[in-house]
Chain A
């Protein structure tokens, strides 16, 4: 029996005490009775027409969710029905998940958006029901089989508005799927819902902007190759100023052993850039033969939140570039959805990557058998192996000014089952670490509330609500252990958790794992270190250095 499995008596008590759909605890309303209302703070700006045109998506136009008329294309109902039929045939999971749910409600209170908003349509079962209700009504066989089930409804513009609202209040984090007795992955239903919406031009600028940029220049922000190089070189100069060590990253170098790809947020945004500095110090420390591409300059894949085809295309650029440069394998930085795509989808989308070699650490000789097909290794795994084999000279006291906790990023934790490696690295590079409560970490981790392409500022109110369960867990360790540093291995987390912490837990800062590695690394030829990579003083460190002197 698993350690954390609930006892029968607990399940019985929960069923008796908790309100749920199946017990008729919501008698005063039908689920779909309340029309959605778009107002400031609860919707993302629609994609600019030129972006939609650029990537060849349908129905480019100016529109707003607050308008009554969304300017849907002629025959949009048929487009949606045909799109759904096509996807039911192509994606077995979609059909299975629509047919299997018995509405037991086990997922209902597991979603961070439901827990943070109290909106019943944010219960995963209800969110999936938004599509399932149309499926029942429009597909004769499903209707026949499911005859007598309530909730079948016609496809109307109001239904589309509801889809748009609630499929963008799902971050595809998959926490609900952990608790579903049938293993239904509601994230897959959200992905299909968004794909269908894109067919009729119902979209989000924060998603399609990065997709178009990545499609054109290779990264989400649209940094041109020369600027990408300038940014990394600027970080190398900062490293030299702080440590006295010269790091020498190379770009687009053919014949390097390893191609390093990380989210572009690590190259342009605070605090991601400090994580990048950590990578550069690490690679210098071990003498890694690596190069960085200015074309495949993005690990993240916003295509994944848009359509299967776009996810495939953006993922392919990384492998095309690895092939062009003739590297042996790919090392991937701290990212969330890059890893979800690589781990769960890449092999059938673009794999197997037979032109690359099975990754093996040139420093320890460890062969990464789990990457036999994708040929891509996660940096936390790579660094954990280096530490395990005693290849890094570390001084964890250099992080004594930080009291840390670790946020498991949904895509890395639930998407690829990586729980121990980042914790092993973190515990090796710092002396103070406290776990958040058990039901908020590892496979049960709460999302940052801003993943899947909704991390835009106009959506801040919803993000702060959706991120509340995560923030609440951080509050727990802050109150009990005075934790002031939230460490994570995802670029979206690094981009969005600072706002979440600043609102709910002022005084808690957000760090990438390899930023702390960079702080702790004792580099050959370094000058006396008194500040961390953010130029914050390393508390108490100066005295020790003086004593040693």
Chain B
């Protein structure tokens, strides 16, 4: 994206990610230690999402796919799953991160809206994938039977 606010996000990545990670862990039914596989994966993936503010379209798309892959199987309604970007916006409002100029704020706001919509597409793709997995599993169970039908 190469925008002013993205540079500030990069400079403050460690502090932002620490707060964002805790917020997202709060979506789960109970607090989880940072070293557990799910919490660790979330930390990595949220970092990818932040990095993607300064990266290519492809990197952003991969990062969004990774975060929504995790969220799509959690016990969360889609609206809650997608709220992670609104929570990020709230974190970035902290003056400590220096995003204060109107231009910076407007750019960030626009990008965040775009990210949210892209993430929703990705979230829905993963939900569709789950239904596809069910169909494929049923087909594998009937592999020999369906093979005989084809023969």
Contacts and interface: CB of A to CB of B under 8 A. Distances in A.
Contacts of B73: 461, 464-465, 468, 503
Contact of A270 (B30, B37, B75, B140): B140
A499 B133 CA distance: 6
B23 interface: no
A269 B140 contact: yes
Most buried by A among B33, B37, B139: B37
Nearest to A464: B73
A271 B140 CA distance: 7
A460 interface: yes
**Closest 7 A-B residue pairs measured CB to CB?**
A118-B28, A270-B143, A457-B134, A120-B30, A270-B140, A499-B133, A464-B73
Interface string B124-138: 001001100110111
B145 interface: yes
Given A464-B130, A472-B41, A457 B138 contact: yes
Contact of A109 (B36, B130, B134): B36
A267 B32 contact: no
A530 interface: no
Contacts of B80: none
Nearest to B138: A457
A17 B133 CA distance: 39
Given A273-B143, A495-B140, A499-B137, A461 B130 contact: yes
Contacts of A270: 139-140, 143
A118 B71 CA distance: 13
A117 interface: yes
Nearest to A235: B144
A493 to B, nearest CB: 13
12 contacts: A19-B33, A26-B30, A119-B29, A119-B75, A120-B30, A234-B147, A268-B141, A269-B140, A269-B142, A499-B134, A502-B133, A503-B129
Given A117-B29, A120-B30, A464-B130, A267 B144 contact: yes
A168 to B, nearest CB: 15
B109 to A, nearest CB: 31
A264 B102 CA distance: 66
A42 interface: yes
B69 interface: yes
Contact of B31 (A17, A19, A268): A19
Interface in A24-48: 25-26, 42
B48 to A, nearest CB: 13
B100 interface: no
A300 interface: no
Given A115-B38, A461-B73, 11 more contacts: A17-B33, A42-B75, A116-B37, A117-B28, A118-B31, A119-B29, A119-B30, A234-B144, A469-B37, A472-B40, A499-B134
Contact of A504 (B25, B29, B69, B140): B69
Contacts of B134: 457, 460, 499
A451 interface: no
B130 A460 contact: yes
Nearest to B130: A460
A118 B142 CA distance: 34
Interface in B44-80: 69, 73-75
B133 to A, nearest CB: 4
Contacts of A499: 133-134, 136-137
B37 A118 contact: no
B148 interface: yes
Interface residues of B, number: 33
A507 to B, nearest CB: 14
Contacts of B148: 230, 234
Interface residues of A, number: 39
Given A109-B33, A273-B144, A118 B38 contact: yes
A333 interface: no
A498 B31 CA distance: 30
Given A118-B30, A273-B144, A503 B69 contact: yes
Nearest to A461: B73
A236 to B, nearest CB: 13
A480 to B, nearest CB: 14
B147 A115 contact: no
A115 B39 CA distance: 9
Nearest to A271: B140
A192 to B, nearest CB: 25
Nearest to A119: B29
Contacts of B147: 234
B143 A118 contact: no
Contacts of A496: 137
Contact of A495 (B25, B69, B141): B141
A43 B25 CA distance: 24
A457 B37 contact: no
Contacts of A18: 33
Most buried by A among B36, B137, B145: B137
Contacts of A267: 144
A217 interface: no
Nearest to B145: A268
Contacts of B130: 460-461, 464, 503
Contacts of A472: 37-38, 40-41
Interface in B7-42: 25, 28-33, 36-38, 40-41
B144 A268 contact: yes
B33 A269 contact: no
A252 interface: no
Nearest to B36: A115
Nearest to B73: A464
Contact of A465 (B74, B137, B140, B144): B74
Given A234-B144, A234-B147, A495-B141, A115 B37 contact: yes
Contacts of B138: 457
Contacts of A273: 143-144
Contacts of B37: 115-116, 468-469, 472-473
Contacts of A109: 33, 36
A66 to B, nearest CB: 15
Contacts of B140: 269-271, 495, 498
Interface in A449-467: 457, 460-461, 464-465
